[in-house]
Amino acid sequence: MTTHFEFWDYFIFIAYAVLILGVGLWVSRDKQGHEKNAEDYFLASKSLPWWAIGASLIAANISAEQFIGMSGSGFALGLAIASYEWMAAITLIIVGKYFLPIFIEKGLYTIPEFVEKRFSTNLKTILAVFWIGLYVFVNLASVLYLGSLALETIMGIPMVYGVLGLALFAAAYSLYGGLSAVAWTDVIQVIFLVLGGLVTTYIALNTVSDGQGVIAGAKTIYEAAPERFAMIFDESNTYYDMLPGIGVLIGGMWVANLYYWGFNQYIIQRTLAAKSLREAQKGILLAAGLKLIIPLIVVIPGIAAYVMVNDPEIMARLGAGSLHNLPTLDQADKAYPWLLQFLPTGMKGIAFAALAAAIVSSLASMLNSTSTIFTMDIYKQYINPTASDKTTVNVGRISAAVALLIGSIMAPLLGGIDQAFQFIQEYTGIVSPGILAVFMLGLFWKKTTNRAAIVGALVSIPIAMYFKVAPNGWSESMLFVNIPFMDQMAYTVLLTMIVIGAVSLLQNKGKDDAKGIPITKQLFKTSPTFNIGAFAIMIILVALYAMFWN
- Would you say residue 183 has pLDDT above 70? yes
505, with CB counted inside 10 A (0-12, 13-18, 19+), is: middle
- Strand segments, DSSP code E, in 5-88 are none
Judge whether 304 and 209 are in contact, CB under 8 Å.
no
pLDDT for the residue numbered 478: 53
Alpha carbons 201 and 542: distance in angstroms, whole number:
24
Residue 519 neighbours by CB distance under 10 Å: 15
Alpha carbons 169 and 192: distance in angstroms, whole number:
16
Alpha carbons 103 and 110: distance in angstroms, whole number:
9
Distance of CA 544 to the CA centre of its chain: 22
Closest CA to 193 of 356, 74, 61: 356
How does residue 281 score in pLDDT terms, banded at 50, 70 and 90? very high
Report the SS3 class of residue 48: strand
pLDDT for the residue numbered 419: 46
Run of H or E residues at 411: none
How does residue 206 score in pLDDT terms, banded at 50, 70 and 90? very high
pLDDT per position as a tens digit, 506-545: 998 878 998 999 888 888 999 999 999 999 999 999 999 9
Mean pLDDT of 124-149: 87
Judge whether 383 and 113 are in contact, CB under 8 Å.
no
Cα Rg of the chain, angstroms: 23
Closest CA to 42 of 366, 265, 269, 280: 269
Run of H or E residues at 82: none
- Would you say residue 492 has pLDDT above 90? yes
Percent share of the chain, pLDDT over 70? 93
Residue 412 neighbours by CB distance under 10 Å: 17
pLDDT per position as a tens digit, 294-328: 998 889 999 999 999 988 888 888 876 677 778 88
Residue type, 300: I
Mean pLDDT of 408-418: 75
- Would you say residue 430 has pLDDT above 90? no
pTM, full prediction: 0.89
Judge whether 285 and 534 are in contact, CB under 8 Å.
yes
pLDDT per position as a tens digit, 363-412: 988 898 899 999 999 999 999 998 888 899 899 999 999 999 999 998 88
pLDDT per position as a tens digit, 434-469: 999 999 999 999 999 999 999 998 899 899 888 776
Judge whether 91 and 261 are in contact, CB under 8 Å.
yes
Residue 476 neighbours by CB distance under 10 Å: 9
- Would you say residue 146 has pLDDT above 70? yes
Contacts of 506 (CB under 8 A, 6+ apart): none
pLDDT per position as a tens digit, 31-65: 665 667 778 788 777 888 999 999 999 988 887 77
pLDDT per position as a tens digit, 348-365: 888 888 888 888 888 988
Alpha carbons 64 and 143: distance in angstroms, whole number:
7
Judge whether 398 and 44 are in contact, CB under 8 Å.
no
pLDDT for the residue numbered 3: 66
Percent share of the chain, pLDDT over 90? 39
Distance of CA 532 to the CA centre of its chain: 26
Task: Write the DSSP string, 268-315.
Answer: HHHHHTBSSHHHHHHHHHHHHHHHHHHHHHHTHHHHHHHHHHT-HHHH
Average of per-residue pLDDT values in the chain: 87
- Would you say residue 471 has pLDDT above 60? no
pLDDT for the residue numbered 398: 94
Please list the alpha-helical segments (H only) found in 156-251.
159-177, 179-208, 214-224, 247-250
Run of H or E residues at 144: helix 141-155
